[in-house]
Amino acid sequence: MSTLSDLAQAQGCLDDEDVEWLHRLAGDGQLLADLASADIVIWIASADGSFIAVAHTRPSGAATLFYRDIVGERVRPQWRTQVQGAFDTAEIVDSANPDWFEETPTRVRAVPIVRARRNGGDGERSRPIGVLTRHTNLGEARTPSRQQITFNEAADDLFSMISVGEFPDLSAPTSPRRGAPRASDGLIRIDVDGVVTFASPNALSAFNRMGFDEELEGESLVEVTTRIVPPSRQVDESLPVVVTGRAPWRTDVEARGVTVSLRAIPLKDHGTRIGAIVLCRDVSELRHQEQELITKDATIREIHHRVKNNLQTVASLLRIQARRTHSEEARDALTQAMRRVESIAVVHDTLAGGLAQKVDFDEVFARVLKLVAEVASAPNTRARTQSTGRFGVLPSEYATPLALALTEVVTNAVEHGLAGQEGLVTIEAQRTDENLRVTVRDTGHGLPEGRIGQGLGTQIIRTLIQGELGGTIVWEGSDGEGTTVTIDIPMRWVNG
């Protein structure tokens, strides 16, 4: 299914700010649909003079008219005149008679979508950028309750604001949709003085759980909130603005172990504030889950940090032991073990710096390369290293074996290929969607008679590349012509 941005770009009649405005409005499509108990469709003018549906929201508490999504479809002939009229006149156009849609009687309202211009005159502000249509199913008409009447009045107020560019409000901070209060979760309507004129049963229940046992209607929402919030609890500075309905913000109220999320939507009549609706939702369980996730993430971060510190401690002990041993063979073995431990510690150090289980391997390998150059260069060896290409982001379970394997390969190139001479070791990374290829070349002695070493380092490399990463490794070279090591790792393993 095409997105709003794709459809708008295909028609080429809107600029980026227009599309952003429509995105904001579509983000509140569910609110409008629930308040109006109707399907909400957003249309934009097409290049051929018609209109294309770019967004569609079904009501959660009423029957939908459109069982199939109509996004991407052209406006139907029975709505064309009404939609065109709202677009041309910048006025709300209601259907004169019930409209029939697939044998269902409906009532259609066409609302021009006007974007507020920051530096434009009145003439510029009146130009609609699209049309919103409300499609009400009259087949299930019944005597409306007081709640439904209030919801419809709020919807009408918002439609009027949409037609003059007062909704959505760009000053409203963007916040995560997860946990955002909806009309069905609880709705409170307040007048211009902040006094509650209506509270839905769900809204009243939410405040009852926080310790308010009386009726909300007729009460000042600010005073009610002040009464239920413990004096010792730190209050969000945006709370007074939200409960008075003066700004389109969100905040949380916490009392008696219950957390209620509040969202204020100021209602205006041509610039004059006439009150507000405040949506409320009990998010106690959601906030508890979020706190658990934060705790677990902090624990994982601390574990990575401790593992990294422990590995560095082990490496330091190996370094001390290597310096004190009198056996050259033992000293080499301890030094190699120290280097391997430090290369693993580099990966864990990167993981400890964030909560993601993926690492930028280019950053990791740059640190590993410095480590190898410091440790592996003998007094008579002058080795330069050069890295080209990009490894990209890798999962941590593959970053550790690859870092350790490349440490061994580059170390062998420096210690054996360039022993007692000056030379260059180049590492080239080539990554595609299917494969990661790493090529390590040195300008050193080459493989004696083309033979591959059988030492511990070679065994470690084979085990890591072939066993853990499911890849292949090939040594090429001859005596006096340097060595080339090619490592291929299938991306199906890297992405696994």
Domain 357-496: what homologous superfamily?
Histidine kinase-like ATPase, C-terminal domain (3.30.565.10)
Q: Is the peptide bond preceding residue 168 cis, with omega within 30 degrees of 0?
A: yes
- If one counts every other C-beta atom within 10 angstroms of the C-beta of residue 41, the result is 28
Q: So what's the pLDDT on residue 103?
A: 78
Are residues 36 and 60 in contact, defined by beta-carbon separation less than 8 angstroms? no
Q: For residues 199 and 185, what is the distance between their CA atoms, to the nearest angstrom?
A: 11
Q: So what's the pLDDT on residue 123?
A: 42
Nearest CA-CA partner of 191 in 226, 237, 154, 156: 154
Concatenate the DSSP letters of all residues of 381-418 into one string.
-EEEEEEEE---EEEHHHHHHHHHHHHHHHHHIIIIIS
Report whether CATH 3.40.50.300 matches the domain 4-163.
Answer: no
Q: How far is CA 151 from CA 138, 180, 182, 200, 494, in A?
A: 17, 18, 12, 10, 52
Q: So what's the pLDDT on residue 377?
A: 55
Are residues 413 and 483 in contact, defined by beta-carbon separation less than 8 angstroms? yes
What's the pTM value of the predicted model, to 2 decimals?
A: 0.67
Are residues 389 and 429 in contact, defined by beta-carbon separation less than 8 angstroms? yes
pLDDT in tens, the chain (496 residues): 568 999 988 888 899 999 999 999 999 999 999 999 999 999 999 988 999 999 999 999 888 888 888 999 999 999 999 999 999 999 999 988 887 777 788 899 999 999 987 654 444 456 899 999 999 988 776 778 999 999 999 999 999 999 999 999 888 877 666 678 999 999 999 999 999 999 999 999 999 999 999 999 999 999 999 999 887 776 778 889 999 999 999 999 999 989 999 999 999 998 899 999 999 999 999 888 888 888 887 787 778 778 878 888 898 898 899 888 888 889 888 887 887 787 777 777 766 665 566 788 888 888 888 777 665 555 666 778 888 999 988 887 788 888 888 888 888 888 777 777 778 889 999 998 888 999 998 888 777 665 666 677 788 888 889 988 889 999 887 767 788 999 999 976 554 4
Using alpha carbons only, how large is the chain's radius of gyration in Å?
33
Are residues 339 and 306 in contact, defined by beta-carbon separation less than 8 angstroms? no
454: Cα within 13 Å, side-chain hemisphere: 1
Burial 214-248 (b: 16+ CB within 10 A, else e): eebeebbbbebbeebbeeeeebeebbbbbbbbebb
Q: For residues 308 and 295, what is the distance between their CA atoms, to the nearest angstrom?
A: 20
Return all residues near 475 (Cβ < 8 A) that are at least 6 apart: 447, 452, 483, 484, 485
Return all residues near 238 (Cβ < 8 A) that are at least 6 apart: 247, 249, 250, 251
Straight-line distance from the first to the last Cα atom of the chain, in angstroms, rounded to the nearest whole number: 28
Q: So what's the pLDDT on residue 119?
A: 54
User: Helix, strand, or coil here: 172?
Assistant: coil
| Dihedral sign of CA atoms 53, 59, 64, 68 in order | positive
Domain 183-282: what homologous superfamily?
PAS domain (3.30.450.20)
Q: For residues 38 and 312, what is the distance between their CA atoms, to the nearest angstrom?
A: 63
